[in-house]
A and B are shown apart, each in its own frame.
Chain A
Amino acid sequence: MENRKSKYVFIVLSVFCVMMIVLSSVKDGLMNPIRNTIGYVLVPLQEGVNRVGFGIYDQLRERKSLKEQEEQNKSLQEKIDVLTEENNVLKQNSEELKKLRELYSLDQNYLQYHKVAARVIAKDSENWFQVFRIDKGSRDGIRVDQNVMANGGLVGIVTDVGLNYATVRSIIDDESRVSCMGIQTSDNCIVAGDLKLYEEGRLRITNMKKDAVIQDGDRIVTSNISSKFMPGILVGYAIGIEEDEKRLMKNGYLIPAADFNDLSAVLVITDVKSDQFQTKDSSGAEPAALSETNPESSAGSSAAEGENVPVVEAGSLPESSSSEGSETSSGESAESSAPQ
């Protein structure tokens, strides 16, 4: 009797689960309200547990021998000297670059993305998947497909957002694919996560053209043709580039710039790549999209506006372009529209 009852319950629940799988596969975001509600309760708990864990761990780490610290201090001091000098040179260069950019009206200023810092509060404890959760959500302006960085390198992409949390898939996850390019030559390639290579601290580089000139040690950055990743973010360094057996493509490996073993804080880039398409595609939705991505008008936003104004004009809408100009009311846009 008891057995039969539980059999029926089992069948009903199994069918329910399978239905949920099918439904949520077909329609994305169907379950988000439920996930949000549960996340709202669980995330503060996760944060608390995490903080306690970190507290204990930090105390243990503080007992690291003083000598080790002193040695580190010394080497760091030397490094600072070298870096200060390098910095001076770079500053000069950047001034020069700025002037040149203005000359060429290069409005896509890489590495000027808006970022939000977040803490990693939970990770997948199994090694099948490399996903983690951060303590910032839609309340803090996090959205799906925003890129995540740490240690100056790309870490992953936001796949799921709740009110006060977001889930990030690392680039070392087996399902991750990032469209990249070499910084010197702009040869495109795909950087793919691979569970087997991850233990050696590597990713796979594939789909590189045979005549590409990426060499070992080259910096690999996110490509400007990627649909989800902002261009120009450092991903890592190429190694072991070789032609494949069929002599059609080149393959190799990549050492990531970010340290995935010790992720505790990350930066989320709040600009989203698909917004850029929108601003270029439809002139009507432009002001809304602009105000969404750049709430405070900074140097970056004025550059973006400068980019958009000519597009509107190309769409032959004189009234809207004039209203656009009055809205932005920056000298730069007036200048860029004058020659045309």
Chain B
Amino acid sequence: MGETIRLKGKFSKKLKNRRVRLLIHALSLIFAFLIQTSVFPLIPFLAESPNLLLVLTFSFGFLHGNLPGMLYGLFAGLLMDMFYSGPFGFYSFIFLLIGYFNGFFNRFYYEEYLTLPIFLCVFSELIYHIYIYTFRFLVRARLDLPYYFAHIIFPSTVFSLIVTVFLYRFFFSANRRMAD
């Protein structure tokens, strides 16, 4: 009897925890979006800014698996689609893809092991930029990929990498605290 009550209590606590976690993730997504669109462009000496939404999406996939990563990516992409005119779903699709595929690396996830996240960050950034290049620039016969690589893709990747490294330190500690 006492056993079941204790189990019930544990269950509801778990549910509540889950809800809080969901709320935190949703807030982090919106916060990142606001920072990326309304604060970074203001800073005059920052010619290129990190793609926070992308970093969050691939991290989420990597930390929590395919399904959550995919959903997180979908919502990040929807936010981007809300912001830009143009075909709706363009960003949703690529973010969905990135969230999903990074979820496969979830089984190799060890704390304090930074090599894999760095590799994934570079890989995701490249996929993301090549996607944009192919569908928005190549189709209009802009063929000079090396130039775009040197001036947009490479700086953006470096910035995102820096953010990733900092964020992972934070993520690890936050995750540990949430698990407790």
Contacts and interface: CB of A to CB of B under 8 A. Distances in A.
> Looking at chain B's contact residues, is the secondary structure mostly helix, strand, loop, or mixed?
helix
Interface stretch (A38-46, A201-209, A245-253, A266-274): A38-46
Contacts of A314: none
Given A174-B137, A174-B142, A129 B84 contact: yes
Nearest to B132: A128
Interface string B35-60: 11111111110011101000000000
A21 B83 contact: no
Nearest to A159: B85
A137 to B, nearest CB: 13
> Looking at chain A's contact residues, is the secondary structure mostly helix, strand, loop, or mixed?
helix
Contacts of B65: 2, 6
A111 interface: no
B161 interface: no
Nearest to B35: A49
A19 B51 CA distance: 26
A6 B67 contact: yes
A54 interface: yes
Nearest to B148: A195
Nearest to B41: A123
Interface residues of B, number: 52
Nearest to A160: B85
Contacts of B103: 6
A124 B42 CA distance: 11
A10 B70 contact: yes
Contacts of A322: none
Interface stretch (A23-31, A76-84, A147-155): A23-31
13 contacts: A10-B66, A14-B97, A18-B93, A20-B87, A24-B87, A31-B88, A46-B37, A49-B39, A124-B84, A125-B49, A131-B84, A174-B137, A174-B140
| 7 A-B pairs closest in CB distance | A20-B89, A160-B85, A123-B41, A24-B88, A17-B93, A6-B66, A122-B37
